[in-house]
Amino acid sequence: MAGLDRYESCGVTLLGDLSRPCGVTFAFTERTGGVSKGQFSSLNLGDACGDDPADVAENRRRLLCAVGAGGLLDRLVNPRQVHGDRIVSVTSASDEAVERSRLEAREGADAVVCTVADVPVLLCFADCVPVVVAQPGGFAVAHSGWRGTIARIAAKATLELSRVTGSDPAASVAYIGPHIAGEDYEVSEELLTRFVDEFGEKVALPGRRLDLACAIGLALADVGVDPQNVVDSRVSTPRSTDRFYSYRAEGGSCGRHGAIALMRGDGSDTGAVTTNVFWEGDHL
């Protein structure tokens, strides 16, 4: 598979796959193009890190416009992330069902599976690993910190997606967004040992470094996802704070970038209006 495309839409810089795999529009956001100020500058999408709620709302509105989902803010599913493995599934497009899913997600979840059109899903990050999985008929977005990774949240979300779509996990394409890469992620010996026991030696790098993306890839392979269909952005957030937020590099006081995905209904706008493509495919 080719890599991710970096492009600008409506003033917002995004990483995504412009081919819209399985009919899914998705993107990992960069931190520019918003209205937030100070340590939250500028496209902060997180509503639990101390930023002005009005600025966060405007940033989310801009993001939705950038991915061709303007007007869907009231259908946005945005979980309260709790570093667990709870999954919320959105399988009905009725207003009542979508509102129930929105409320359920706010009770606490770290992955959302969606099989209906015109329901954008947003999860937020600042070092943890964003994962988007697309299949014929739906998609999943997962938040995979170390707790979610060892709990195999992305793999569990893939299996749930397969259950509700009826697609084989082998039909999945998975995208791993910007996160704290293994060479920058020093952990305790105890935690590294736990991961090695769970996933094998491949996840351990010299100097007690932990490769979360490797662990996620292995977990996805274990449920039937072809490793050739897993794309890693290979961008380390602590080394790229000009483009992404990093909790570790910025002393714990920063905004959150996002992973957003949606499918559009028949006759609707089918995705972002791309104004400037910086690079395409595997040049990231």
Q: Decide if 273 is inside a domain.
A: no
pLDDT at 275 > cutoff 70 = no
What local confidence, expressed as pLDDT, does residue 265 receive?
A: 87
pLDDT at 282 > cutoff 60 = no
Q: Decide if 283 is inside a domain.
A: no
Q: Decide if 241 is inside a domain.
A: yes
What local confidence, expressed as pLDDT, does residue 53 receive?
A: 98
Q: Decide if 271 is inside a domain.
A: no
pLDDT at 208 > cutoff 90 = yes
Q: Decide if 107 is inside a domain.
A: yes
Q: Decide if 166 is inside a domain.
A: yes
The angle at the Cα of 31, spanning 109 to 86, to the nearest 5 degrees, equals 5
pLDDT at 87 > cutoff 90 = yes
What local confidence, expressed as pLDDT, does residue 270 receive?
A: 44
**Sheet with 138-144, edge to edge strand ranges:** 87-90, 111-114, 138-144, 129-135, 173-176, 230-232
User: How sure is the predictor about 277, in pLDDT bands with cuts at 50, 70 and 90?
Assistant: confident
127, 139 Cβ separation under 8 angstroms: no
CATH of residue 239's domain is 3.60.140.10
Backbone angles phi, psi at 46, to 5 degrees: -85, 135
pLDDT digits (tens, 9 = 90+) for 143-164: 999 999 999 999 999 999 999 9
pTM (2 d.p.): 0.96
Between CA 284 and CA 37 the distance in angstroms is 28
Q: Decide if 272 is inside a domain.
A: no
Long-range contacts of 69-74 (CB under 8 A, 24+ apart): 69/25, 69/118, 69/120, 69/262, 69/264, 69/269, 72/118, 72/119, 72/120, 72/262
Q: Domain span at residue 15?
A: 5-264
Q: Structural domain tally of the chain? A: 1
Average pLDDT, the chain: 95
Q: Decide if 274 is inside a domain.
A: no
